[in-house]
Copies of this chain bind each other. A is one copy, B any other.
Amino acid sequence: MKICYLPGDGIGPEIMAQALRVLDVFKKEGLNIELEEALLGGAAVDATGVPYPEATQKAARAADAVLLAAVGGPKWDVLPRPQRPERGLLGIRKDLNLFANLRPAVLYPELANASSLKPEIVAGLDIMIVRELTGDIYFGEPRGISEEGGKRVGRNTMIYNEDEIRRIAHVAFKAAQKRSKKLCSVDKMNVLETTQLWRDVVIEVSKEYPDVELSHMLVDNCAMQLVRAPKQFDVVVTGNMFGDILSDEASMLTGSIGMLPSASLDENNKGMYEPCHGSAPDIAGKNLANPLAMILSVAMMMRYTFANEAAATRIETAVKKVLAAGLRTGDIYEEGTQRVSCSEMGDAVVAAL
């Protein structure tokens, strides 16, 4: 298991440290884990001047899986575009061809109160958003700000070809087969031709998955339905831009984004694994961050890249145990539970393992 890990910025190094302790448990038990650290985001800009340096490219390409904590912070937001931390993130996704972003939105029963939605609306929530990650308006050309007839004009290009749509559709249908066999594809076909093609191709691919029930929803309606009745969804598949918005909306339904991991996979299940949350510069360096999304990202890595379901389940069970024992970092704290630090949460997970 060649793993390249990227602590990144803000709370990144603190939560990564806890994930590494979890990996260490498995290593000591005999799993053949090889670790290599590399720089991404602001940390990389500070050290090398670019957010996705060559050394990181080499390490990430050579690895079977990449663990990423979080990148970004106000310090780097003022830099020219090519040097901003998120360029590093977009760069590594594209470079490693990580086109399939899996973002589960799961409500832990112990944390049900954290949701801003009524308990009956979200109890038992378990959605999987499958977001295309290397195409769409994120990467389309032409793009940029130019001067035309004395006016500044901003331009970006939404673009998908049928192969790009087909391969993410296959990932989504396969995910649906392993779950409740229901897939909802989200588009804006009434306005955008790109997403008309999206819908056409998804329908074509559906013929190969007769056991999966496919439905379609417009993106504006989906943004509403996620609020109104999120449990109507199981697997949702959509493009990069809509997926960015809807997956964040869906994760916030749980009220505890500090708990949610994500996976970004290529065609061969090589993947990058990272929490859904950001680098939280405000609490960085204070040993306050919630390391559970990072630790659950390790579980996803075990499951998707290394097909080690036993290890994945063990990590997830350990996390559930510490929650059941009442341990909480500040972001998920409520009265009657025990407030712990980032490293104490790590201690508890390691002990539960």
A31 within 8 A of B: no
In the complex, the chain B residue whose C-beta lies closest to that of A246 is: B223
Beta-carbon contact of B229 and A249 below 8 Å: no
Given A84-B190, A144-B193, A224-B248, residue A159 in contact with residue B155 (CB < 8 A): yes
Distance from A115 Cβ to chain B, minimum over Cβ atoms (Å)? 8
Contact partner of A155 among B158, B200, B242, CB < 8 A?
Answer: B158
Contact partner of A151 among B163, B198, B246, CB < 8 A?
Answer: B163
Bound CA span A92–B6, Å: 51
Contact with B along A185-209 (1 / 0, CB 8 A): 0001011111111101100000000
A residues 81-104 touching B (CB-CB < 8 Å): 81, 84, 86, 90
A residues 200-256 touching B (CB-CB < 8 Å): 200-201, 219-221, 223-229, 241-242, 244-249, 251-253, 255
Distance from A228 Cβ to chain B, minimum over Cβ atoms (Å)? 5
A118 within 8 A of B: yes
In the complex, the chain B residue whose C-beta lies closest to that of A153 is: B161
Beta-carbon contact of B227 and A245 below 8 Å: no
Chain B residues closer than 8 Å to A151, beta-carbon distance: 161-163
Bound CA span A194–B158, Å: 12
Bound CA span A86–B189, Å: 11
Distance from A77 Cβ to chain B, minimum over Cβ atoms (Å)? 8
A residues 267-319 touching B (CB-CB < 8 Å): none
Chain B residues closer than 8 Å to A155, beta-carbon distance: 140, 157-159, 193-194
A148 within 8 A of B: yes
Bound CA span A229–B90, Å: 29
A residues 58-91 touching B (CB-CB < 8 Å): 81, 84, 86, 90
Beta-carbon contact of A161 and B145 below 8 Å: no
Given A86-B191, A157-B155, residue A227 in contact with residue B227 (CB < 8 A): yes
A349 within 8 A of B: no
Bound CA span A172–B206, Å: 44
Cross-chain pairs A/B with CB under 8 angstroms, 25 sampled: A81-B196, A84-B190, A116-B227, A117-B117, A137-B192, A145-B194, A152-B200, A153-B162, A153-B197, A154-B161, A154-B195, A154-B196, A156-B192, A156-B193, A219-B244, A220-B244, A220-B247, A220-B248, A223-B245, A223-B248, A223-B249, A224-B248, A224-B251, A227-B227, A245-B245
Q: Which 6 A-B pairs have the closest CB atoms?
A: A154-B197, A154-B194, A224-B252, A223-B249, A220-B248, A156-B158
Kindly list 18 other residue pairs between chains A and B, CB separation below 8 angstroms, not including A116-B118, A155-B194, A223-B249. Answer: A81-B196, A90-B191, A116-B229, A117-B117, A143-B193, A153-B162, A154-B194, A155-B159, A158-B158, A188-B244, A220-B247, A223-B223, A223-B246, A223-B252, A225-B252, A228-B252, A228-B255, A245-B245
